[in-house]
Amino acid sequence: MRCFIAIDLPKDVIAEIARIQELVRRTRAIVGTYVAPEKAHLTLAFLGDRDELAVREICQHLRAIKMPSFQAALGQCGVFVPEQPRILWVALNGDGVLKLQQEVQRSLAGIIEPDAREFVAHMTLVRIKKIFDYALLTSELQKMCVNNIAFKVESFSLKKSELTSAGPIYIDIERFNLS
């Protein structure tokens, strides 16, 4: 099964993501696949395809993470890669986010390969297929006022992703509470 580790988002953050996506749509600067707001999450680690035995071992390691809950807040929007954007995202700010991601990586050392890319705490808003007006997009992103909604992160989850023609379905395998 395809698996990943993520932080789920509260309803007010999901509503803000939907609002941002609508503002982006109205610019008509891009065409792309918009992530369903209710499926938005922050990925801490992508694990790829794992069998049942590996999933049990991963859960065992994740249960050992002992970390306090922490505050996080929405940040500004950005794109990966600025020279030729393919992903439009909104940041998730808070020192605890990076610390949790590092703890996940540490706990799964030897089980998963560390990501060579630097971790950027974000939620994908749009997978960009075509840009009609890059200048307009960047201008609108700079002007866009994201409501910096703060919330308490009290858990993270190991999820499986089932790919369907209607889009991915995410199912919690196990939720891990922070202290």
Output the CA angle 140-142-144, nearest 5 degrees. Answer: 65
The domain ranges of the chain are: 2-174
- The structure's pTM equals 0.91
Residue-wise pLDDT tens digits, 140-158: 888 888 999 999 999 999 9
Residue-wise pLDDT tens digits, 66-104: 999 999 999 999 999 878 889 999 999 999 999 999 999
Beta partners for 126? 34, 88
CA distance 149 to 12: 8
What is 2-174's CATH number? 3.90.1140.10
